[in-house]
Each structure stands twice: as structure tokens, then as C-alpha cells.
Amino acid sequence: MKFFGQNEFLPQNKIIKWLSKYGCEMNEVEKYICENTLFVIAGFDKEQYNSTLASVIFAHSPAGTSTKTVVHYAQEIQESGNFQNFDYGKEENERRYGSEHPPQYNLSNVNVPIALFYAQNDWLAGYQDVKKLYTNLHSAIMFYKIPFDNFNHVDFLWGIDAKEFVYDKMIELMKDYK
């Protein structure tokens, strides 16, 4: 985290805004670069990608997040595989948590119905991780695989068939729990 600092990671700025507004629409080469940048991050899915929304998508992506959030995500993937608090290192963990290791999140405190949707081609929230969370959430009511093999992380938001594959199902579930 020292390398990136404690500020925003991939913040929106004038350069990003200009690139999203003009850079992805200049010609086919720029469009190709923008699309493939998105696919590298989220998983390749040309069928669900709505190219007419490119300027909207890239006006909001990357949206930025805290550097600490990115590091925490990396810790969970690369180091621990656990759903736990941020790992500050042995000394700082001892000071903050009273232990050399960060504590696991207490998922038994979650007591609202939760449906977990996952996609086979989601590179950021893979099957194993979502399944592990589902298994540990006592209030989980659904573990649902999107019925389209190439559906990826951003397709949940911008996929051509997101309404059919995600939103309609979510609305039906919410009606059951109102």
C-alpha cells in the first residue's frame, strides 16, 4: 500500500474523462483498445457488450475506489483466501485486533435473506469464492448461476440481457420477501 498511497485508486480525472468521451470513439482501433481493456479486467463477452453504450460505460469505468480496498481484495485472493478484516501486518494487527492475524468476518451476524448471483466468466467474483460465501452465510436463500456461459462481471450492470438474466429474477425474489 506504501507504493500506491492511501488515496483513491483509478480516480476519475480529466484525462480519464477525455479518453472515455472521445478516445473510445475516434476510430476502430481506439474502440478495440477500450473494449479489450474492459474485457481484460472483467472477462471477455462480446455478445453481451452493448457498443452503443461505450461512452456511458467508459464515463463510469474505472469508477475509482480506495487503494486500501484494492489491497484488501488482493489479500483475500492471493494471500489468505479468507473473508477477513484488512491485514496490516503482524505488529499493526496485534495493536488493532489483539492478534497477529486479522479476524474473520462474523457472517453469522448477517440475518437478512441474501441471494448470490454468479457468472461462469466473472473474473472478479469467481464460482469458488461465491460458493464459499454462500456456504458460510446462514441466511443465504439462493445460489444462482447466470444461464449464459460468457456473462462477466460488468454484464451484471451493462449486459444486453442483464434485465432478463439478473434484474427480473431479483425483482421476483424481492416480491417474495417484502
Distance CA 71, CA 30 (A): 30
Count Cβ neighbours within 10 Å for each residue of 122-150 and write b for 16 or more, e otherwise: beeebeebbeebbeebeebeebbebebeb
pLDDT tier, 178 (very low <50, low <70, confident <90, very high otherwise):
confident
Any idea what the Cα angle at residue 133 is, between residues 158 and 60, rounded to 5°?
25
Q: Could you report the per-residue pLDDT of 76-114, keeping only the tens digit for each?
A: 777 666 789 999 999 999 999 999 999 999 999 999 999
Supply the range of the domain harboring residue 166.
8-63+106-176
Quick check: is 170 in a domain?
yes
Q: Could you report the per-residue pLDDT of 140-161, keeping only the tens digit for each?
A: 999 999 999 999 988 998 899 9
Instruction: Answer for the pair 134, 165: CB distance below 8 angstroms, yes or no.
Output: no
Q: Is 89 exposed, middle or buried (0-12, 13-18, 19+ CB in 10 A)?
A: exposed
Q: Answer with the residue of higher pLDDT: 52 or 127.
A: 127
Quick check: is 59 in a domain?
yes
Residue 84: the pLDDT is 92
Quick check: is 93 in a domain?
no
Quick check: is 74 in a domain?
no
Distance CA 93, CA 101 (A): 6
Quick check: is 91 in a domain?
no
Residue 25: the pLDDT is 65
Number of compact structural domains in the chain: 1
Q: Could you report the per-residue pLDDT of 4-49, keeping only the tens digit for each?
A: 445 655 555 666 666 666 666 666 777 777 777 767 766 778 899 8
Quick check: is 161 in a domain?
yes
Q: Could you report the per-residue pLDDT of 37-65, keeping only the tens digit for each?
A: 767 766 778 899 887 777 777 777 666 67
Quick check: is 73 in a domain?
no
Residue 52: the pLDDT is 78
Residue 126: the pLDDT is 87
